[in-house]
Amino acid sequence: MTEPLRLSKRMSELGLCSRREADEWIARGWVRVDGQVVSELGSKVLPSQRITVERQAQAQQARRVTVLLHKPVGYVSGQAEDGYKPAVVLVKPENRWSADPSPEQFHPAQLKSLVPAGRLDIDSVGLLVLTQDGRIAKKLIGEDTSIEKEYLVRVQYTKPGRLPDADLKKLNHGLWMDGKPLLPAKVRWQNDDQLSFTLREGKKRQIRRMCEMVGLKVVGLKRVRIGRVKLGELPPGQWRYLAPDEQF
């Protein structure tokens, strides 16, 4: 016999929405199981049962925005900490990129529940995704995400000579962190002092720690791509909307 699951968990598994959204929709009576409205939080369903959502839920989800920000140094990705401002404070009309092709109009309500899907250290720059859409957040930072993130990393070698090829190979595969082997990465030289890193995971300060393990000091780190979405020409401190036809 298959075990019943919490309805909100099952909705998240099916990619309908995030668990938080599911709870909100359930409470509003917007969720049906086998055609019957289920409005009690914590309700359970069998995997074989059919879950549908009302049009109001789909309309609410369609209004949720995703913002691409070129985060500068000195801003934290999430909550304000140690006197530093969160990156979301940059999302205001005067900082919107003048070349943003999206027809979306800015409204202060878009700042509600606009949260980072992934993080960049305070001293790192580049592409930061802020979203109201739980599906996108799950896709980018869920445990089973396979979406690549690409970084340009300026480094200094702290030992004599150049980084040995064997250590470059270790950066690609073979390092351990926090007691676990890291997933294979793609690491290659861009020029004499800059490496390109492409990762499918995002442990805290991962690139800086990987570099330290082979004697490299990171002097600059910039995220330039998440999946198929590139930072492109977006200027530092400015933002644009994720276009309807853009997919990570």
73-127 pLDDT, tens digit each: 999 998 777 788 999 999 999 999 999 999 888 888 888 888 899 889 999 999 9
In 79-232, DSSP assigns E strands to 115-116, 125-131, 149-157, 176-177, 180-181, 186-191, 194-199, 216-226, 229-230
Q: Which CATH superfamily is domain 149-226 in?
A: Pseudouridine synthase (3.30.2350.10)
**pLDDT score recorded for residue 30:** 92
Percent of the chain whose predicted confidence (pLDDT) is above 70 = 98
**pLDDT score recorded for residue 235:** 97
Q: Where in the chain is the domain with CATH 3.30.2350.10?
A: 149-226
Candidate from 34-38, 144-148, 191-195 with smallest mean pLDDT: 144-148
**pLDDT score recorded for residue 81:** 76
**pLDDT score recorded for residue 64:** 82
- The domain 5-62 is placed in CATH, from the list 3.10.290.10, 3.90.1150.10, 3.30.830.10, 3.30.70.270, at 3.10.290.10
Dist CA 181 CA 173 (whole Å) = 9
Average pLDDT, the chain: 91
pLDDT in tens, 127-174: 999 998 888 888 888 767 789 999 999 999 999 999 999 999 999 999
Q: Cβ atoms within 10 A of the Cβ of 75, count?
A: 20
* Annotated catalytic residue within 34, 121, 192, 193: 121
Q: Where in the chain is the domain with CATH 3.10.290.10?
A: 5-62
The CATH architecture to which 64-142+230-241 belongs is: 2-Layer Sandwich (3.30)
Dist CA 27 CA 215 (whole Å) = 54
Alpha-carbon distance values, 152 to 109, 127, 197 (Å): 34, 11, 6
For range 223-231, the mean pLDDT: 96
Residue that is written with structure tokens 């002097």 in the block: 219
**pLDDT score recorded for residue 16:** 83
> When comparing pLDDT for 60 and 129, which is higher?
129
Checking if the pLDDT of 1 tops 60, the result is no
pTM recorded for the entire structure: 0.77
Instruction: Give the pLDDT band of residue 230 (cuts 50, 70, 90).
Output: very high
> When comparing pLDDT for 157 and 14, which is higher?
157
**pLDDT score recorded for residue 133:** 86
Instruction: Give the pLDDT band of residue 46 (cuts 50, 70, 90).
Output: very high
Counted residue by residue, the chain has a size of: 248
3-state secondary structure of 87: helix
Q: For 137, phi and psi rounded to 5 degrees?
A: -60, -45
Q: Where in the chain is the domain with CATH 3.30.70.580?
A: 64-142+230-241
For range 238-242, the mean pLDDT: 97
Note if 121 is an active site residue. Answer: yes
Structure tokens at 183: 């997933």
